[in-house]
Amino acid sequence: MIFTLLTMLTTQVASGPNHTPTAQNFRDYLAFIQPDASEQRYKEIPWRNQFWPAVQEAKRLGRPILFWTMNGHPLGCT
Amino acid sequence: MVWSDQEIIRLSAQFVTVADEVYMLYPEDPGNLNRVKDDPAHLFFKKFGESMPPGDWNHPGTKQGIYMMGPNGEYLEGKFAAASNPADIQARLRRAIQRWDALRQSKGYANSPIPAVKATYPPDVSGELIFRVNSRDLPRGAGDRSGRRITEAERTSNAFMDFTKWAWNETWVGVAKTQSFVPDSGGTGAVPISVARSIARIALLDNVRGQNPEWRDQDIKNIAIRMKVVRDSNGSQVIEYTGSAQITDGNKSFSATCYGEGVYDSKAGKFSRLDLVWLGMRGGAAQFNQRANDRGPAPMGVTMSLFNE
């Protein structure tokens, strides 16, 4: 709780609406914008990034396949 | 939501896990479908899909979803458009594992250990510099919580449908040459305009809440990224980047300023880190980026960080 309050007091991310990156604040903005560890838990799963090579690997290993698929690559949707 | 569930992460360890784009694997339009009709990957996925229970496979229509199959395409479990309910996916994974246990014994599959791999970028991204690009809304004024994180209570409830409150996105952009981000011998310079325009086209867009196609080249009205060596210690250089961009297609827009820093080993010719932050105002809405009721102008941030494998 105290750490959160201190973080809120010391961050240089503006309350808005105007935001301008500088040498003094840009790492605070990096931390604000980039996902933290809890938001990136999906990366704890060892995702291969191509379906057909993963199928070939599964055949070699004699293992099942878990396939997550979207329109746009799930590991880098635009 | 689904893939951050600890039990799902644990159950997924039984599988070769793969994430990939589906539209070109099983296109929905006749032209592209005809193009892949003899492709072994397409045929494999098609055969699997047609073995699924009615209601879990969607044809005609989107094939986005989560699917579990044996190494020869045997049906284990799965459902189209199924990435929002952790309890449902947990149950499907458990059923898939039960079916797998029976299948591997009947077919004599080896069930060998699965090598670990690190999460990486999509296969169509390439270059000497690979940047991880993240986007998020920024606070709009005192007391506004735009850009906040999801809470644990939201993560485990059905509040995922309110994802716009905590949305963020991740994409990737490749730059062919490291030297594009290194000043000339005088210690100053500009990122080549062709590289800057490519970055603008691919990365400086509003995909915080969902899909937004790349800009057209003519939408990039202005972009410049200047660079300057600000410290040099026996070949280890700190390079400062500043810049701006104005982009609009008449409907959507993004105007931003940039600051960044890189640490470059001039002897090895490599960056150990390189981060840029773009902050500015976005406007308009794309078909699938959930901005129809939030057209702005409103502040948004985009970061680019060098991915070192």
Q: Do residue B261 and residue A67 have CB atoms under 8 angstroms apart?
A: no
Res B150: pLDDT = 85
Interface residue of A7, A77, A78 to substitute, partner B, most B CBs within 10 Å: A78
From chain A, the residues in CB contact with B116 under 8 A are 46
- With a pLDDT cut of 90, the percent of chain B lying above it is 82
Q: Give the span between the Cα atoms of B3 and B267, in whole angstroms.
A: 41
> Is the pLDDT score of B297 beyond 80?
yes
Single out the residue of B164, B153, B145, B258 nearest to residue A8, CA to CA. Answer: B145
Domain ranges of chain A: 1-34, 41-78
Between residues 36 and 65 of chain A, which touch chain B (CB distance below 8 Å)?
Answer: 36, 38-39, 41-52, 54-55, 57-65
Across the interface, of A29, A32, A54, the residue whose CB is closest to B16 is A54
pLDDT of residue B51: 95
Give residue B85's pLDDT.
84
Question: Is pLDDT at A10 greater than 70 in this prediction?
Answer: no
Mean pLDDT of chain B: 94
Q: Give me the numbers of helices (H) and strands (E) for chain A, helices first please.
A: 3, 1
Q: What is the pLDDT of residue B237?
A: 97
Cα separations in angstroms, B106 against A63, B12, B110, B194: 13, 22, 11, 57
**B126-172 residue pLDDT tens:** 999 999 999 999 999 999 999 999 887 777 666 666 788 889 999 99
Q: Are B220 and B247 in contact (CB under 8 A)?
A: yes
Mean pLDDT of B77-104: 92
| pLDDT for position B185 | 84
Q: Are B280 and A78 in contact (CB < 8 Å)?
A: no
Nearest chain B residue (CA) to A23: B259
Angstroms from A73 CA to nearest CA on chain B: 4
Residue B158, pLDDT score: 62
Q: Provide the number of CB pairs (under 8 Å) joining chain A to chain B.
A: 266
Residues B97-111: tens digit of each pLDDT? 999 999 999 999 999
A29-69 pLDDT, tens per residue? 999 999 999 889 999 999 999 999 999 999 999 999 999 99
Cα distance between residue B281 and residue B306, in whole Å: 24
pLDDT higher than threshold 60 for residue B30: yes
Q: So what's the pLDDT on residue A78?
A: 41
Q: Which residues of A touch B124 (CB under 8 A)?
A: 73
**Banded model confidence at residue B120, pLDDT cuts 50, 70, 90:** confident
Residue A1: band (very low, low, confident or very high) from pLDDT cuts 50, 70, 90: low
Q: Which residues of B touch A37 (CB under 8 A)?
A: none
Residue A9 has pLDDT above 60, yes or no: no
Least-confidence region, from B7-11, B89-93, B150-154, B199-203: B150-154
Instruction: Give this complex's ipTM.
Output: 0.89
Rounded average pLDDT over B280-309 = 95
Judge: A46–B140 Cβ closer than 8 Å, yes or no: no
Chain B residues with CB under 8 Å of A42 CB are 3-4
Residues ≥6 apart with Cβ < 8 Å to B142: A15
pLDDT tens per residue across span B239-288:
999 999 999 999 999 999 999 999 999 999 999 999 999 999 999 999 98
Its pTM stands at: 0.89
Contact yes or no for B301 and A44 at CB 8 A: no
Q: Where are the domains of chain B?
A: 2-107, 129-306
Q: Give the best residue of B18, B169, B259 to mutate against chain A (max A CB count within 10 A).
A: B18
C-alpha angle B46/B172/B170, rounded to 5°? 85
